[in-house]
Homo-oligomer: A and B are copies of this chain.
Amino acid sequence: MTGPDRLSLNTATIKHADLPTAVELAAGAGLGWVGLWRDRVAEVGLEVAAKTVAEAGLRVSSLCRGGFLTAADEDGRRSALEDNRRAIEEAAALGTGELIMVVGGLPTGSRDLVGARQRVADRLAELAPYAAEHRVRLVLEALHPMYAADRAVISTLGQALDLAAPFDPAVVGVVVDTFHVWWDPELPQQVARAGREGRVASYQVCDFNLPIAADALLSRGMMGDGVIDFAAVSRMVAATGYAGPVEVEIFNADVWAAPPGEVVRTMCDRWVDLVAPWI
């Protein structure tokens, strides 16, 4: 199955389009899936979002995002748990089992990376039963180490798997996002390990563009525009037996400025050339 029906359009890739437009473009291009951000869902409401996706014959590959679990104070802990419970409920209502978790960086002014990482472990343990109850998997996302301080203290796939280890693979999994992990010398071993441990919950593809954008968050690029060898990473993921959707999530000022329909066409062309043959 390497047709576009395996592709998923993440709404962040066409940031300025609303959810109905994203769904229409995805369905029109023959995609099988969409990946939804919570803000796009909130704009139309949970029920309408679920209905719009289903009526177009699509499924939701993942909901972005839960996480931000690193607050050091009790108020921060409580509100993070509350927000993540809402995200779990939303994922379930949208019919996806995969809630992407961007776990958060250092609290403002803190340099205690070890402590922040420990709090992620502690709060996963608090959330896991609620996720299991809703048949939603908490999908840990290792973010590129350049975001370790301000976005996510999980910096490698190996570390994500270590954090996932105490939990049932049906409840805590990992996402392989090429942008975040392509550089990792341990990648082949850790992707294989994720497969053995039954934790590959999502495969996301986008490129790592150079130079790094002035706003470092926006360096994600269309496949083929950057430095990543998609054949190499896709082969690793395929070898785990992963047969789920392949999601494209791009934060990039130029991509956002382009007409959404054109972005989706380019995405499909690049998929055919650079990813589909290997997955």
Contact = CB atoms under 8 A, between A and B. Distances in A.
Nearest to A187: B113
Contacts of A216: 146, 211-212, 216
A114 interface: yes
Interface residues of A, number: 34
Interface in A221-248: 226-229, 232
Chain copies in complex: 2
Interface stretch (A25-33, A62-70, A178-186): A178-186
A227 B106 contact: yes
Interface in A183-218: 183-186, 208, 210-212, 214-216
Contact of A145 (B111, B114, B146): B146
Contacts of A155: 183-185
A229 B156 contact: no
B227 A149 contact: yes
Contact of A229 (B111, B212, B228): B111
A117 interface: yes
Interface string A137-180: 00000001110111000011011001000000000000000000
A111 B145 CA distance: 20
Nearest to A185: B159
Interface in A98-127: 106, 111-114, 117
Given A185-B159, A214-B214, A216-B211, A229 B145 contact: no
A227 B108 CA distance: 10
Instruction: Report which residue of A106, A148, A183, A232 has the largest number of chain B beta carbons within 10 angstroms of its beta carbon.
Output: A183
Nearest to A150: B210
B144 A146 contact: yes
Given A211-B216, A212-B216, A232 B114 contact: yes
B210 A149 contact: yes
Report, nearest first, the 8 A-B pairs whose CB atoms are least far apart.
A148-B183, A149-B227, A214-B214, A111-B229, A159-B185, A212-B216, A145-B183, A146-B146
22 contacts: A106-B227, A111-B227, A113-B182, A113-B183, A113-B232, A117-B185, A144-B146, A145-B146, A145-B183, A146-B212, A146-B216, A148-B182, A148-B183, A149-B183, A149-B208, A149-B210, A149-B227, A155-B183, A155-B185, A156-B184, A211-B215, A216-B216
Given A149-B227, A155-B184, A155-B185, 7 more contacts: A106-B227, A114-B232, A117-B185, A144-B145, A150-B211, A156-B185, A158-B185
